[in-house]
Amino acid sequence: MSPYNLHARFKAQYDANNQEFSISGVVRPQAIDELGPSLALLRDAIGRVRGVLYVNVRRLAQMNNAAFYAFSRIIIDACRARPDLKFVVITSSVVGWTSRKFGRLSGIEPNITVEEYDSEFYPGQGFLEEGGFVPILRTQTKMTWRHERAILPRHGMRPGIVMADICCGIGDFAVLVQKEFQPSRIVALDHSISSLDYARRVMREFDIRGIEYTYGDASEMLLDEEQFDLVTCRHSLQIFNRPELILKELYRICKPGGRVYITNEKNSHCLGEPRAESIRWTYNEVAKLFAHFEMDVELGPKSRRYLIEAGFDDIRVETFTVTNLDGDVQDFADVIVAWADVYAGEMATKRGDGAEFVARFRQGFQDHIFAALHPKGYAGWPIWVASGRRPQ
């Protein structure tokens, strides 16, 4: 759909189970009559609910004042007519104006509260996003880049394309791509403000141009549809509890004929010699630990299925293994140390694991490091790469 297609530019829905009225898209009517069915739906929803009505405007990209007044009027009138009823308006921190504009309503009627949907997106990811993990993310990208720079051209990467890197984290992949492949434009999106601050700082310090970092929720992006030749999303589907929602968005913003490129792990396949058994046990436990927090770090081999189910064709899948024989072996060891700190530290504690389990869990990471640093040892971290083409 062209960004200027005015047909069906917004959608209003009512979900009776959740007592939730939602409106999304671009709502810029000339006359209120154009909103008739949507306003009737809201009135009808108000008539049906008890207790609380949720008004979800998270995916509302634009709404002019005429429409805002029309919807607000109904809500304010309902507050006055039914003091028993509360309204919770759910805005998104991604859409800058919504919290400010709808936030005013709570100053008019105390029964209206406004909640900004933000840090609660994906609760488990907090472990992986805070500032302390940045150095290790950089090292991980350095290790995988040695492989991906050769792999990417097989999945649609070439000079001059317009690309998006969704869940870009600290932006190091986007920078490497910019230097190596010179796409004409990169839009890099993440919902971690601290990661984006870091990425922008790097961009300024190294005078990097051609990358636009933007704050957003990968499952509900403000980006227009069909605008990118290549959309990358690395190591991220595996830490979302509903990866199919992200893929739907990646598909939406990809041009017909363009490709979506994803990388994911299968953590239980991390390996090492010597001490293979201990290593295998620990990484099997890593998979279970992430599953406890609704993240699937075994997703790698499932990539093909996910891409097919999202509507892609011409699906290409390959794997590579980062090993202690690539580059600096200490990098490999440093990454394992960081994994051990987070997985056997904060995450295990939060799950409530006992000391005995944690000790054995940590031992596997130490054995993986031992294998990596051993003069005759071998240690590996396998990654699944997959891409699909959006049909023309």
Partner 1 sequence: MGSVHDPVGEPTFEPMIQIDMEIKTFVSAWKHCDYVSTYIARMISQNRSDSVRHSNLFSSAFNELLEVAFRTRHADGELACRVSRYGATDRIELTFPCMPEERQFYEEAVLQVVGFEAKERYLNSVSGDLAPSREVVLLELAVDYNAALRVEEADGDAITLVVDLPLEGLQH
Residues that bind partner 1 (CB under 8 A): 3-4, 6, 26, 28, 30, 61-62, 64-66, 68-69, 72, 76, 93-97, 100-101, 104-105, 107-109, 187, 189, 193, 196, 200, 212-216, 222-223
Q: How far is the CB of 69 from partner 1 (least distance, A)?
A: 5
Q: How far is the CB of 36 from partner 1 (least distance, A)?
A: 16
Q: How far is the CB of 229 from partner 1 (least distance, A)?
A: 18
The set of residues, in sequence order, having a beta carbon less than 8 Å from that of 115 and lying 6+ positions away, is 88, 89, 90, 91
Residue (102 or 312) nearer to partner 1, CB? 102
| CA distance linking residue 85 with residue 50, whole number of Å | 7
Residue (50 or 209) nearer to partner 1, CB? 209
Q: Which residues pair with 230 in a beta bridge?
A: 163, 259
| Preceding omega of 274 cis (within 30 degrees of 0) | yes
Q: How far is the CB of 332 from partner 1 (least distance, A)?
A: 35
Instruction: Tell me the two tokens of residue 337.
Output: 């140390």
Ranges of H-type helices in 296-354: 303-309, 329-341, 348-351
Q: How far is the CB of 141 from partner 1 (least distance, A)?
A: 22
Q: How far is the CB of 30 from partner 1 (least distance, A)?
A: 4
- Segment holding 54, helix H or strand E: strand 52-56
Residue (61 or 299) nearer to partner 1, CB? 61
Q: How far is the CB of 383 from partner 1 (least distance, A)?
A: 29
Residue (136 or 164) nearer to partner 1, CB? 164
| CA distance linking residue 266 with residue 282, whole number of Å | 13
Q: Which residues pair with 62 in a beta bridge?
A: 26
Count of C-beta atoms within a 10 Å radius of residue 311? 12
Q: If we measure between CA atoms, which residue out of 219, 292, 303, 307 comes closest to residue 266?
A: 303
Angle at 95 (CA atoms; ends 10, 223), nearest 5 degrees: 70
Residue (214 or 321) nearer to partner 1, CB? 214
Residue (4 or 81) nearer to partner 1, CB? 4
Q: How far is the CB of 65 from partner 1 (least distance, A)?
A: 5
| CA distance linking residue 359 with residue 371, whole number of Å | 18
Angle at 273 (CA atoms; ends 272, 278), nearest 5 degrees: 70
Residue (38 or 263) nearer to partner 1, CB? 38
Region of 192 on the Ramachandran plot (φ > 0 left; ψ -120 to 50 alpha; else beta): beta
Residue (250 or 338) nearer to partner 1, CB? 250
